[in-house]
Amino acid sequence: MKKILLATSALVAFAGAAAAEVTVSGSARMGLVYDGNDTEFSSRIRVVFKMAGETDGGLAFGASVRADQAGVANSGGTAMSAGTVFISGAFGKLTFGDNDSAANVLVGHVSGVGFTGLGDYNELGYLGNTDTSALYEYSTGALSFALSAGQTTATVVTPTGVIDEQAVAVAAKYSTDTFSVALGYEQFGDDEQVTLGGSATFSGATVKAVVADRDSWADTHYALSVDYAIDATTITAFYTDQGPIDTYGIGAAYDLGGGASVLGGIVDDGFDTIAEVGLTFSF
């Protein structure tokens, strides 16, 4: 992604200080969306600011926020629900703010279709964190580890009542150029979730699978996707089993070059068939 350098300023408090910089990147999309009943126009623009610096001792630090969420990030405090702030070094990386859980970060999701995601039915869901949350990540060779914790004084209203508990998660991942496997564990109140994911790439195809078992679910949830690349075109299909609802999707993406792509997809969400086609741009 191309990035425009907004500012590069020397830290002049002492001689030999490292430089700090602020960059901006963006994305946009436009197209047609069919919701099962009507076809409508859809478009969106997002701008992201990233700040980075380094201490004399070699510690990296920085922050990131979307332009439309700058006000929320500015208020921040103990309920920062947008943007992140981090510091990293040989010890790993520590991030505060609006984080995904450790399990979500390392296990993730199977591939989806469409230029908006068509409801993101490829995602099984994680217990998540409550803001302001903390995420710690460390990698060595092919192994990656992550720990996360939600706000220490979180109080969340759920369908089963009010939870006054801290969300915690731990995850590990082993990845190579051709395959990966990851395992995550989350706990939030009396609810627990174990998620296992893996991927493998061969002959132009990438297969991903995720299995999630949550105490509050009646059934174990599954997701599977296949991406097949042919030159600039990638064809994607996915299937999810979320208890009583099965979801299917198929789509394609064509890379136009220069940060522009054409994407389209069709999804059966268990109730309706929805579809879309459009363009995405990265800046």
- Residue-level pLDDT at 162: 66
pLDDT band at 226 (very low <50, low <70, confident <90, very high): very high
Instruction: Specify burial of residue 150 (Cβ count, 10 A radius: 0-12, 13-18, 19+).
Output: buried
CATH architecture of 99-231: Beta Barrel (2.40)
The mean pLDDT value of the chain amounts to 90
pLDDT at 5 over 80: no
For 206-220, write each residue's pLDDT tens digit: 999 999 999 999 999
Instruction: Specify burial of residue 121 (Cβ count, 10 A radius: 0-12, 13-18, 19+).
Output: buried
- β-partners of residue 34 are 39, 275
Distances in Å between the Cα of 116 and the Cα atoms of 43, 98, 112, 277 are 9, 21, 10, 9
Query: pTM of the full predicted structure?
Result: 0.87
Q: Which of 230, 267, 233 is nearest to 112 (CA)?
A: 267
Region label for 76, one of left (φ > 0), alpha (ψ between -120 and 50) or beta (otherwise): left
- Residue-level pLDDT at 161: 65
Q: Which of 124, 127, 128, 126 is nearest to 110 (CA)?
A: 124
pLDDT at 204 over 80: yes
- Distance CA(147)–CA(102), nearest Å, equals 5
Would you call the peptide bond into 132 cis, given omega within 30 degrees of 0 as the criterion? yes
Q: Among all chains, which residue has been given the structure tokens 């522009």?
A: 260
Strands 84-89 and 161-163: unpaired
Distance of CA 113 to the CA centre of its chain: 15
Mean pLDDT to the nearest integer, 180-206: 95
Picking from 2-11, 49-58, 81-90, which range would have the lowest pLDDT averaged per residue? 2-11
pLDDT at 29 over 50: yes
State both tokens at 87.
């510091």
CB 172 within 8 A of CB 143: yes
Which amino acid, one-letter code, is at 253?
Answer: A
* Number of other residues whose CB lies within 10 A of the CB of residue 156: 16
- Residue-level pLDDT at 153: 80
For 110-154, write each residue's pLDDT tens digit: 999 999 999 999 999 998 787 889 999 999 999 999 999 998 887
Strands 19-34 and 39-54: antiparallel
Picking from 24-28, 185-189, 194-198, which range would have the lowest pLDDT averaged per residue? 185-189
Mean pLDDT to the nearest integer, 94-104: 96
pLDDT band at 157 (very low <50, low <70, confident <90, very high): low
Picking from 60-69, 76-85, 101-110, which range would have the lowest pLDDT averaged per residue? 76-85
- Residue-level pLDDT at 129: 80
- Distance CA(85)–CA(61), nearest Å, equals 8
Mean pLDDT to the nearest integer, 96-111: 96
